[in-house]
């Protein structure tokens, strides 16, 4: 029973996705009245109090069009200067801010000014639609991307401003504005299209009767195609299986035989005459072994021919060919089905219905075109392969049934000695089934015939003779032969299906394991070696992989590793990469090469070329399928590895940009302020000189000294941060007395932060650590500086003690503390928390430098907030204690 549910994709198209409705006015050429039609409809809606505005309309000097703007709200245009002259552009931001229900944006193919947000006006329209605004726009058919070359061929004019065809497909409403070519030429002569000077040039070049007629035909066809798509969408949305005969659609069925090429060519002629789209399909049985290489080659060649003639192609799977064809016809809304057929023999007519007859019996409302063979057509590859397969292994196909029948005869004779069986033929039936399972259909047939002969000779009276005394035995023998053939055929078919399923399960599991291996691989080299391993395991052939980069091919991997490529091989590989075609052995390009090269296409072009050594041993169909699947997955993995690398590079560049931006911001702030102070103080001293009292002079000199020290610290921090980023921090590993470092740091801090109270608590007999006393002193000073900036006016506490096998130093302030979400950020470069007055103190490098120095000395640094009574921040340093006694003085 056909699926009566609506098509999900078509229903999704009806869903309200929050976007505006797009109405497109399509014309054959300028001057047909697109803008006039838009404004006329707009005035009617305005009279109905609809919120409609004019975003941009080009009147081209036409007075009747300009008059229609009266009474409509027109958004002001954005003015800018370009190459010394002032131009006006559509103001996208003003339209988004106004957000009317409907906006008119003319000239859809227009190219925006260089400083615009989008290079094309149709991209402005897409942003308006995404904002939920209905848009009316207009375009001429010559501006469609797919028709640009045709228009240039017809008019000898290259159209530079183009829009993608998807805009026409995406439009909710397409309104054709049509005008007879002769009437349009008359309007041009009357000056109703262009100004007189431009009109004269246009009449001599573009506005010719032949040109306009051809453009009009293209516009009509495109509009008809759009309406046809809407009909198909309606049928899918309402689950209507019937094909409405509004336009023709062809479904073409082919198989692996010599008649398929004729069917494709006949269908192409029919589709051209009907101007109809057509789909070529082939149906394969899922429970049968894969097609032979010859059969697959015929299908591929016919698919390639159909594609070159303008068709789509599709492979389908199913046991009931007629039902699968009818499903495809209903799904594609086909109006005609094209099939090929040979004249069947009289015997075949009695036992088997032809495909055209089966389609005619089950289809309704769809035409059936039958392409017949001319003369004697070669048998299909499938039939030839079946004949060859029957006699491919005589020992198996004749020996197994002979042995099975002999065993059944002996078993029957022994059984009759002990049990009086009414019919010994059941033993022979078992022999037929065994032969079918192990030898196939031919073995089952041979076993059935041998069983009939042996049963007649050994068990039917008179025995030892082929004559039959009782007439009912003749009927029993016939029933036995028929039963044996049916049972043998079924057993053979089940055995073949089981073998096919097992083979496909192994191949599927292998591909699944390969895909899992690739899913965890982000490096292109690892992807290449994984592919090499999988291909060699699957195909058991020599494999090479060449990667493509900057227009060159390099041998990336090979198995065996000592495999080399000569000049012919490399030429074939380059051909495969440049043309994206198979080259080398068993192809039409450089067939002398022992390797066959296949390109791996990615979203950015050819990512690699894989070569496999055929050595005059072509791939069988199953190997061909496995190879295709592996190459497809490898191409995806290579593309993913490339994107991952580009993402990392982009992240690194972004981080570098952020670093440079923060550095420039910091320099602009932290250099400008002290320099301005120093410059002002020096200017004051120079201008006033001796007129200034000693106290003021001392204050200015103190300011100069203070700001100079501040600049010095800033430059030192930048140099230290540069060393840390470059990994060139040279931390000495001397014995360091932590108490001495703390005391010297406090003396330095007293000069920079006079009057600031700092409390210390240093444990007695504190162990020595391995480190750099200069770097440790800088770390402690940076921590004190940070505590002064953020700790308020309360005292700062410094503690030093030993905990287990570590020495712990901590600097604690009693400020507001750090929010939990920012604790991990305080050690990042240029991270600064502003003061309550909004001023950002410092460079944001102090704690980052402290972290770098501490880690260079083998220690760790950590921030904790709140520190005491839900307030404050504590920054702790931890250094390992070397294995020696505290009182031991190292030499």
Please give, one letter per residue, the 3-state secondary structure of 511-537: HHHHHHHHHCCCCHHHHHHHHHHHHHH
Which single residue is written with the structure tokens 């590793």? 561
Identify whether 462 is preceded by a cis peptide bond (ω within 30 of 0): yes
**Residue 406 token pair:** 């002999």
Q: Whose CA is closest to 641, among 546, 514, 521, 515? A: 521
Q: Is the dihedral of CA 28, 31, 33, 39 positive or negative?
A: positive
The answer to whether 174 and 220 are in contact (CB under 8 A) is no
pLDDT at site 321: 84
Q: How far is the C-alpha of 711 from the C-alpha of 673, rounded, in Å? A: 10
168, 192, 193 from 63: Cα distances, Å: 29, 8, 10
List, in sequence order, every residue forming a beta bridge with 611; answer none if it has no partner. 544, 597
User: Between the CA of residue 173 and those of 106, 135, 167, 169, what are the distances in Å?
Assistant: 16, 11, 11, 10
Q: Say how far apart CA 205 and CA 217 lie, in whole Å.
A: 19
Residue 265's φ and ψ, nearest 5 degrees, are -65, -40
The residues with which 873 forms a beta bridge, in sequence order, are 813
- Is 870 in a helix, a strand, or coil? coil
- The residue written with tokens 């035995």 in the block is 473
Distance of CA 756 to the CA centre of its chain: 61
- Look-up: residue for tokens 């308020």? 792
Please give, one letter per residue, the 3-state secondary structure of 828-864: CCCCCCCCCCCCCCCCCCHHHHHHHHHHHCCCEEEEE
Provide the H-helix boundaries in 49-180.
63-67, 92-98, 121-130, 148-155, 165-170
Structure tokens at 799: 């503690």
From the first residue on, what is the mean pLDDT of each consecutive set of 10 residues in the chain (891 residues)? 51 61 87 87 91 89 83 89 82 91 91 83 90 91 77 76 81 84 76 59 62 78 67 55 62 89 88 81 73 74 83 84 86 86 66 78 84 60 45 64 82 77 72 74 76 76 66 63 68 68 68 73 79 80 84 83 86 85 81 86 81 77 76 83 79 68 57 72 77 78 75 66 61 84 86 83 87 83 84 86 89 84 74 49 68 84 82 88 54 37
pLDDT value of residue 95: 92
- The domains of the chain, with CATH numbers, are 9-237 (3.40.50.300), 250-385 (3.40.50.620), 391-497 (no CATH), 522-644 (3.30.450.40), 729-880 (3.30.565.10)
Q: For residue 686, count other CB atoms closer than 10 A to its CB.
A: 8
Per-position DSSP letters for 347-379, written without gaps between them:
HHHHH---HHHHHHHH--S-EEEEEEPPSPPPP
119 CB contacts (<8 Å, ≥6 apart)? 111, 112
Q: Positive or negative, the Cα torsion across 618, 619, 624, 626? A: negative
Q: Are the beta carbons of 834 and 844 closer than 8 angstroms?
A: no
Task: Compute CA distances 667 → 590, 655, 660, 670, 673, whole Å.
Answer: 64, 18, 10, 5, 10
Q: Which residues contact 715 (CB under 8 A, 6 or more apart)?
A: none
Query: DSSP labels for 24-57?
Result: EEEESSTTSSHHHHHHHHHHHHHHTT--EEEEE-
Q: Which candidate, 170, 177, 63, 154, places its Cα nearest to that of 122?
A: 170
Tokens (6 digits) for 377: 């057509």
Q: Return d(Cα 54, Cα 49) in angstroms, integer.
A: 15
Cα separation, 539 vs 626, whole angstroms = 9
Residues facing residue 691 across a β-bridge: none
The rounded distance, in Å, linking the Cα atoms of 756 and 385 is 98
Q: Are 181 and 217 in contact (CB under 8 A)?
A: no
Closest CA to 27 of 141, 161, 134: 141
Q: Cα separation of 19 and 100, whole Å?
A: 13
In this structure, how many other beta carbons lie within 10 angstroms of the beta carbon of residue 826?
21
706 backbone dihedrals φ, ψ, rounded to 5°: -65, -45
> Alpha-carbon dihedral of residues 531, 536, 539, 541, nearest 10 degrees?
130
The stretches of 732-845 forming alpha helices (DSSP H) are 738-752, 773-790
Question: How far apart, in whole angstroms, are the C-alpha atoms of residue 203 and residue 392?
Answer: 76
SS3 68: coil
Continuous H helices in 617-732:
621-670, 672-688, 694-726
In 10 A of CB 317, how many CB atoms? 11
Only one residue has tokens 């102090």, namely 846
For residue 207, give every residue at least 6 positions away whose Cβ sits within 8 Å of its Cβ, in sequence order, or none. Answer: 29, 184, 185, 188, 193
Q: 781 with 750: CB under 8 angstroms?
A: no
Peptide bond into 798 cis (omega under 30): no
DSSP 58: -
The SS3 call for residue 464 is coil
Give the closest residue to 245 by CA, choosing from 380, 139, 336.
336
Q: 330 φ, ψ to 5°? A: -70, -40
At residue 230, the pLDDT reads 60
Long-range Cβ pairs for the range 622-629 (8 Å, 24+): 622/289, 622/290, 622/503, 622/507, 623/538, 623/539, 624/293, 624/296, 625/290, 625/507, 626/507, 626/510, 626/511, 626/538, 626/539, 627/535, 627/538, 627/539, 629/511
Strand pairing report for 543-549 and 367-372: unpaired
Strands 595-602 and 367-372: unpaired
Strands 78-82 and 85-89: antiparallel
Instruction: Please tell me the distance from the alpha carbon of residue 448 to that of residue 481, in angstroms, as a whole number.
Output: 6
Cβ–Cβ < 8 Å for 538, 634: no
Per DSSP, 753 falls in state S
């Amino acid at each position: 029973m056909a699926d009566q549910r609506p098509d999900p994709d078509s229903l999704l198209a009806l869903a309200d996705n929050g976007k505006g409705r797009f109405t497109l006015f399509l014309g054959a050429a300028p001057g047909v009245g697109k803008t006039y039609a838009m404004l006329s409809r707009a005035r009617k809606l305005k009279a109905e109090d609809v919120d409609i505005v004019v975003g941009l309309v080009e009147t081209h000097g036409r007075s009747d069009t300009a008059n229609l703007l009266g009474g409509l709200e027109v958004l002001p245009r954005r003015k800018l200067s370009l190459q010394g002259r002032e131009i006006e552009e559509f103001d996208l931001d003003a339209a988004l801010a106004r957000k009317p229900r409907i906006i008119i944006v003319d000239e859809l193919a227009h190219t925006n000014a260089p400083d615009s947000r989008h290079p094309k006006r149709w991209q402005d329209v897409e942003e308006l639609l995404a904002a939920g605004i209905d848009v009316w726009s207009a375009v001429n058919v010559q501006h469609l991307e797919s028709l640009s070359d045709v228009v240039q061929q017809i008019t000898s004019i290259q159209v530079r401003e183009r829009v993608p065809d998807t805009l026409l497909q995406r439009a909710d409403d397409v309104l054709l504005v049509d005008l007879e070519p002769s009437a349009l030429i008359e309007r041009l002569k009357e000056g109703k299209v262009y100004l007189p000077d431009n009109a004269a040039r246009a009449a001599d070049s573009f506005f010719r009767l032949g040109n306009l007629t051809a453009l009009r035909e293209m516009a009509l066809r495109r509009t008809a195609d759009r309406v046809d798509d809407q009909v198909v969408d309606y049928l899918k949305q309402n689950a209507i299986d019937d094909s409405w005969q509004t336009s023709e659609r062809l479904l073409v069925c082919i198989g692996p035989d010599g008649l398929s090429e004729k069917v494709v060519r006949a269908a192409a002629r029919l589709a051209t005459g009907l101007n109809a789209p057509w789909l070529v399909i082939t149906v394969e049985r899922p429970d049968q072994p894969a097609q032979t290489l010859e059969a697959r080659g015929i299908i591929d060649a016919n698919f390639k021919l159909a594609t070159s003639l303008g068709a789509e192609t599709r492979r389908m799977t199913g046991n009931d060919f007629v039902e699968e064809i009818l499903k495809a016809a209903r799904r594609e809304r086909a109006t005609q089905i094209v099939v090929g057929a040979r004249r069947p023999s009289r015997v075949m007519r009695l036992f088997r219905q032809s495909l055209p007859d089966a389609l005619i019996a089950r289809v309704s409302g769809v035409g059936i075109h039958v392409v017949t063979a001319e003369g004697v057509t070669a048998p299909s590859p499938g039939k030839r392969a079946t004949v060859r397969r029957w006699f491919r292994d005589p020992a198996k196909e004749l020996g197994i049934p002979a042995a099975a029948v002999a065993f059944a005869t002996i078993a029957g004779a022994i059984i009759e000695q002990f049990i009086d069986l009414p019919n010994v033929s059941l033993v022979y039936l078992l022999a037929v089934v065994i032969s079918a399972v192990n030898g196939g259909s031919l073995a089952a047939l041979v076993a059935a015939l041998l069983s009939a002969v042996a049963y007649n000779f050994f068990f039917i009276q008179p025995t030892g003779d082929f004559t039959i005394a009782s007439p009912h035995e003749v009927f029993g023998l016939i029933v036995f032969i028929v039963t044996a053939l049916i049972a043998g055929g079924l057993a053979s078919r089940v055995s073949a299906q089981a073998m096919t399923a097992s083979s496909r399960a192994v191949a599927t599991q292998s591909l699944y394991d390969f895909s899992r291996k690739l899913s965890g691989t982000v490096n292109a080299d690892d992807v290449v070696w994984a592919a090499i391993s999988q291909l060699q395991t699957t195909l058991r052939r020599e494999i090479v992989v060449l990667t493509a980069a900057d227009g060159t091919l390099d041998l990336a991997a090979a198995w065996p590793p000592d495999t080399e490529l000569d000049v012919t091989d490399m030429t074939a590989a380059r051909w495969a990469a440049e043309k994206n075609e198979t080259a080398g052995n068993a192809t039409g390009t450089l067939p002398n090469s022992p390797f066959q090269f296949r390109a791996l296409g990615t979203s950015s072009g050819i990512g690699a070329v894989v070569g496999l050594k055929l050595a005059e041993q072509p791939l069988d169909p199953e190997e061909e399928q496995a190879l295709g699947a592996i190459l497809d997955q490898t191409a995806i993995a290579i593309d993913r590895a490339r994107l991952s690398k580009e993402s990392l590079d982009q992240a690194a560049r972004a981080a570098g940009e952020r670093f440079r931006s923060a550095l420039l911001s910091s320099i602009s702030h932290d250099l400008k302020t002290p320099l301005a102070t120093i410059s002002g103080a020096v200017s004051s001293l120079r201008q006033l000189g001796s007129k200034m009292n000693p106290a003021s002079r001392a204050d200015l000199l103190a300011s100069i000294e203070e700001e100079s020290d501040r600049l010095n610290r800033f430059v030192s921090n930048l140099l230290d941060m540069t060393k840390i980023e470059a990994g060139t921090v040279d931390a000495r590993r001397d014995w360091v007395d932590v108490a001495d470092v703390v005391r010297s740091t406090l003396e330095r801090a007293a000069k920079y932060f006079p009057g600031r109270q700092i409390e210390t608590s240093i444990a007695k007999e504190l162990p020595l650590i391995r480190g750099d006393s200069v770097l440790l002193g800088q770390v402690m000073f940076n921590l004190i500086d940070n505590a002064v900036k953020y700790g308020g006016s309360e005292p700062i506490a410094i503690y030093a003690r030993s905990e287990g096998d570590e020495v712990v130093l901590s600097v604690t302030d009693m400020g507001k503390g750090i929010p939990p979400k920012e604790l991990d950020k305080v050690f990042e470069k240029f991270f600064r928390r502003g003061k309550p007055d909004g001023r950002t103190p410092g460079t944001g490098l102090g704690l980052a430098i402290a972290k770098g120095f501490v880690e260079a000395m083998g220690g760790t640094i950590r921030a904790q907030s709140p520190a005491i009574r839900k307030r404050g921040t504590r920054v702790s340093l931890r250094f390992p204690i070397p294995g020696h006694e505290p009182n031991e003085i190292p030499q």
